[in-house]
A and B are shown apart, each in its own frame.
Chain A
Amino acid sequence: MMLIAGTIPIKDLPLVAGRVKREGDTLVISGYRLPCAQGTGAMISAAQATTDYLKLAPPQVVVAGDIGEGGGSRQIYQYLIQNVARLSPKVLALHYCLPDMALARRLCRAVRECHPRPLLIADAGSMYAAKAAGLAREFDVFTPDATELAFLADGEATHPAYINRHLFCADITRVPRLIVAAYRQRSAARLLLVKGATDYIARHGEILATVAEPDVPELEAIGGTGDTITGLLSAFVACGLELHEAAIIAARVNRTAGKLARVTVASGVKQVISQFPAVFKEYLCRWSGVCSIKGGSYHE
């Protein structure tokens, strides 16, 4: 089971847990209707589109309302600390949350006690907290952009707003050096998917693959298109693909969907997500090497 956890920008939304389903442009979780928009909503939508296409069980999610004050973030952390062992997810993907080092530490302790241990994926504020608390090596995947990679590579920084200016100024050609620095600082997860003009997939400091095509530079400006990559990756991992394969295919799917949607910088992430089924139909078999679905799992 895949479990996605993150905040939703609705101030009074209580903590909600359950399977997600999609109704038009809306996500429905335990009767609550939530927007498929930038942030956790986009990530869940991407994961749900993947499981829906593959006819697998939809993602289990834990969300809470938070517009930045931190209350919903703490509720999510507390819920996971108390329930992760019982829920026993195969994949736990953590997303938008107010970074909280102490709670991140407690969550990692709770995850260590799970048998089997879930694969841990972190993006956004959850990744910031994991790095700041020195917990990066307990995670299987981080999905930073180039600035966030510079944050990982800066041993002193506890937030991307406070990174060394020389690291921030690093252009895309210096991403490989930042990857090495992040691993040297012990601030990188087992696998990194660095999102950018070229996407880099790295493991233990070694670059395994890059994805640069199709080139759709407008995607960088569209809020939520990094979230969708993490959602796709999480779903592919939950389906049984190897981490690096899942990362490569997630990057390709996102780019190709952007191209099919003919996005401009004024597009919304929904336009990209709406193209995922078409991309899966056309390319997923070719890219993943697994081409049919029997009994709820992939088969070659």
Chain B
Amino acid sequence: MQVSNGKVEERFEGGGIVLFSAVRQALDAHQVLRDAGYEARMVAPPPQLHKGCDLAVEIKLVEKPAIERLLGQKGVDYLSLGPLKAGTSQLLEIVTVTDFGRWLMVKAGNMKLTFAKDSGEIMNTSGGGCPDIPYLHAEMVGRSLTEAPRPRQIGFTLCALMLEQALLEGLRLYEGGSQR
């Protein structure tokens, strides 16, 4: 919290950081993000994360997929996008599968996706807590794994990224892959 002109201002706390190889890229990324309405601020990279140039951009970690997509569309290169806290674990890449007879439920992180073994139809999605999850539920349920919109492409948050992992594993299993 900061005090400015007698007013209390809340400092931006994003929890995520984008690292760049050149200061110009960091400046461009900051501008692109601000123009698109994202909260972002320029910061010095913490020593334990330091690689590339001396300027980084703090972002909301939960918005990782949307920000990666935007920077890609605008042609802004970056080295990495991840948690600001150095001790934070890697993005979860573990999936588990539950067999419900005619259906399989694939769980990735806090997200679950259930599909029909014979048709590949997505019967349900559950879990998660970000606002794009009910939206993705409405967009994906009733569609086949092969034709459903991809959470990574139409979602915005880390929950969507987890659902993407569940979808990819579901697709792999539907196409004949064995359970890991």
CB atoms of A102 and B130 under 8 A apart: no
Residues of A within 8 A of B91 (CB): 161-162
Query: In whole angstroms, what is the CA distance A226 to B160 when docked?
Result: 18
CB atoms of B89 and A165 under 8 A apart: yes
Q: Known interface pairs A68-B66, A68-B156, A223-B141. Does A38 touch B130 (Cβ–Cβ under 8 Å)?
A: no
The CB with the most chain A CB atoms within 10 A, among B90, B105, B109, B110, is that of B110
Q: Which residue of B lies closest to A65 (CB)?
A: B131
Tell whether B29 is near chain A: CB-to-CB under 8 Å. no
CB atoms of A165 and B131 under 8 A apart: no
CB atoms of B83 and A265 under 8 A apart: no
Closest Cβ–Cβ distance, residue A229 to chain B (whole Å): 12
Residues of A within 8 A of B114 (CB): 221, 265-266
Tell whether B4 is near chain A: CB-to-CB under 8 Å. no
Residues of A within 8 A of B56 (CB): none
Contact of A68 among B13, B85, B107, B157 (CB under 8 A): B157
Tell whether B72 is near chain A: CB-to-CB under 8 Å. no
Contact of A161 among B85, B138, B159 (CB under 8 A): B159
CB atoms of A102 and B90 under 8 A apart: no
Contact of B138 among A9, A124, A264 (CB under 8 A): A9
Interface string of B85-117 (1 = CB under 8 A from A): 101111110100010100101010110101010
Tell whether A96 is near chain B: CB-to-CB under 8 Å. yes
Residues of A within 8 A of B138 (CB): 9, 37-38
Residues of B within 8 A of A226 (CB): 126-127
Contact of B85 among A9, A133, A156, A225 (CB under 8 A): A156
Tell whether A185 is near chain B: CB-to-CB under 8 Å. no
CB atoms of A9 and B131 under 8 A apart: yes
Interface string of B120-151 (1 = CB under 8 A from A): 00011111111111110110010000000000
Residues of A within 8 A of B45 (CB): none
CB atoms of A68 and B126 under 8 A apart: no
CB atoms of B15 and A98 under 8 A apart: no
Q: Which residue of B lies closest to A132 (CB)?
A: B15
Closest Cβ–Cβ distance, residue A26 to chain B (whole Å): 15
B interface majority secondary structure: mixed
CB atoms of A168 and B133 under 8 A apart: no
Closest Cβ–Cβ distance, residue B66 to chain A (whole Å): 7
Query: In whole angstroms, what is the CA distance A163 to B61 when docked?
Result: 13
Query: In whole angstroms, what is the CA distance A147 to B109 when docked?
Result: 7
Residues of A within 8 A of B124 (CB): 221-223, 265-267
Contact of A156 among B10, B63, B87, B161 (CB under 8 A): B87
Tell whether B180 is near chain A: CB-to-CB under 8 Å. no
Query: In whole angstroms, what is the CA distance A54 to B126 when docked?
Result: 29
Q: Which residue of A lies closest to B121 (CB)?
A: A266
CB atoms of A164 and B130 under 8 A apart: no
CB atoms of B110 and A156 under 8 A apart: no
Closest Cβ–Cβ distance, residue A220 to chain B (whole Å): 7
Query: In whole angstroms, what is the CA distance A164 to B88 when docked?
Result: 8
CB atoms of B126 and A38 under 8 A apart: yes
Tell whether A72 is near chain B: CB-to-CB under 8 Å. yes
Tell whether A39 is near chain B: CB-to-CB under 8 Å. yes
B residues neighboring A (CB under 8 Å): 1, 10-13, 15, 37, 60-63, 66, 83, 85, 87-92, 94, 98, 100, 103, 105, 107, 109-110, 112, 114, 116, 123-135, 137-138, 141, 155-162
List, sorted by A's number, 11 A–B pairs whose CB atoms are closer than 8 Å.
A37-B134, A99-B60, A101-B15, A147-B109, A161-B159, A162-B91, A165-B92, A168-B94, A221-B105, A226-B127, A265-B103
A residues neighboring B (CB under 8 Å): 7-9, 37-41, 66-73, 96-103, 105-106, 123-128, 132-133, 145, 147-148, 151, 154, 156-165, 168-169, 217-218, 220-226, 264-267
Given known contacts A96-B131, A218-B100, what 6 new A-B pairs fall within 8 Å (CB)?
A38-B125, A38-B133, A40-B134, A71-B37, A217-B100, A223-B137
